[in-house]
Structure 1
Amino acid sequence: MRQLYRTNQRLDSKKLAKYLAQDGQLLLPLLDLILNTESAIDEVIDVTGRAAIEAILLLSAQEVVGKPHPGKKQGPVYRNGSQNGVVSLSSQKVRVNKPRLRHKETGEVSIPAYEAMLNNSRLGQRILEILMKGVSTRNYQTVIPEMAETVGVSKSQISREFIEISSRQFQTFCERDFSDKDILVIYLDGIRFGPFHVIAALGIDSDGHKHVLGIREGASENSVVVKDLLNDLVERGIDPQQKRLFVIDGSKALRKGINEVFGPDNPVQRCRNHKMTNVLGYLHKDQHDQVRSAMKAAFQLEEKNGMAQLNKLADWLDQEHCSAAESLREGLKEM
């Protein structure tokens, strides 16, 4: 397996430290830098999912061509470097680097696991469930064997050493220390994968880099799980005394957990993407573009004018879509 952790694109967030020292409200226009990127959950999938899938593809290729033995004569199928590919994990596309195999006479040879994932969309959902369950419960040693079995890789290809190496890499990534990082923004995101829920935390440091901070199995409405996740961040170096911005999906348990672990003085911003999704969920599809555009336009305005536009939109929705209007007004002051 290749190194799990990587730093994503740099965001221009040097201003965050300056603004946090003054007034958290001044940060709100900068949130587009965060909210226009993947959500925290997407980031977890992108980083851990890529590494796990690439490990499975190596095992599947090994079934076709055999284990590499330096000096041993190659058979009709041989390794020919690697190439880029894309697989779907539920609704998310993950770019991977996969082995390239060739036959001496017939040319390109497919990797069975890769073809299976391309041709069966259900496999992607199942792999994603295995990944999130293993990472969120820290049961790392189950991830690779269960994934491999799902895509038809023989158990004989999965050595104990391979499982131990992959487990250590997942553990190193998921439980690493952040005391050397100046984390200024923490984005908490909850989502459901099949039969279970997970909560993920994504951080932005003072150099503008994104970091997957942690993940736990459980819903964002579960105060015990939320507090456990936040306390774990503190134990791994996130200073609870430092003032920082939190971005959440509107869950009361998230807000309560932040207050209890990090104190009530940190500015909290509702995720605008979640807000739009919630409001649009009460509307017919032919109204989505109009309402989405109106909300995005309001979010770009200065706070007072933006609030006025959103309240005006809520009044308009009240005429025929009371639930959508109520959803828009809920927590509006934290938008």
Structure 2
Amino acid sequence: MNRKRLWALLIKESLQIIRDPSAILIAVILPLILLFLMGYAVSLDARNIPLGIINKSNTKEAHDLVSSFVGSSFFKTHIAYSKKELMQSLQDNELKGVLEVPESFGKHNNYSIQILIDATEPNTGGLTQNYASKIIQTWAIEEGIMPSRGITIVPRYWFNPPLSSRYFLIPGSISVVMTLIGILLTALVIAREWERGTMEALMATPTSMIEILLGKLIPYFILGLGSMLLCFVVAYFWYEIPFNGNFGILLLLSAFYLFPSLSIGLLISTIAKNQFVAAQVSIIAGFLPAFLLSGFLFEINNMPIVLQYFTYIIPARYFVESLQTIFLVGNIPSIFIKDMVCMFVVGLFFFTLVVKKTKKGLE
């Protein structure tokens, strides 16, 4: 490998990136758009859940309990005097739950209530039950209804005290964004050379194929790290996601992750030789697996066993785990080392395929 030739290729590719608006668009504008969409549009939390309330009791306890629900930010309450009316609204999907306070509530130490929940959306149904139970428990403690002796359960939530889904969605979304950037950027590189006819000119030079590949890989590797820094700034300063790890380790993890991502992109562009086809394949082979099978949104252990084995060749699986760990937990070397080794092995596999597939010829 000739250092001067490689340096010339690096300068050439860097100048091409600067002159190409699409590369800056993908590396700078696209991450911001995706992070803001995932930060605000994708949420596993629930607010303003429509809840119907019918209060048949005239006791002070019943009025206080209803007031607790009305004043909660979790529910948007609808007070009614007819259970039939609320049940009809529940069937029409206008309400997610109905709280019924019976006439005997608050009398003779009777505090039985009924909550009917629409479980067609299991996540929302579970949140409705949890939020309602928490409000009732808080109200009971304030009223002194809970027993003062005996076993007292004091929950403590580690790593995510406010129980905000954004705390793990944003780090996971950074992985998805970096996947799309790394694969999409490099998927267009060699395909663009073939379309413009400049690949023949590169092959006519004394440079070897490995020098050509490295000359295209390294500039986009640096550009990918810049995109990672941008994502970190948005996550930490805009969304105020806690960061409990070491920033140097974060860059190291990102570097290990960019290796397989960029290699997959190079492999796609080498096979496709067309920018449109390369872009489509990068979405299907890169973005969708990272979004659906990395553990970003869906628990891997809940997937069919065949898909669980398939996730081992998806680099985003390891990067999502590392990002969520370094943001919310801190530095856990055992996790980071395992994930970096796996990402390197996957990257080496795809880069080897690129080298074998890419030959210095026009066939």
TM range (shorter): under 0.3
Bigger strand fraction? 1
Greater share of helix residues, 1 or 2? 2
Structure exhibiting the larger radius of gyration computed from Cα positions: 2
TM-score, normalised to structure 1, is: 0.23
TM-score by length of 2: 0.22
- Which structure has more RCO (C-alpha within 8 Å, separation ≥ 6)? 2
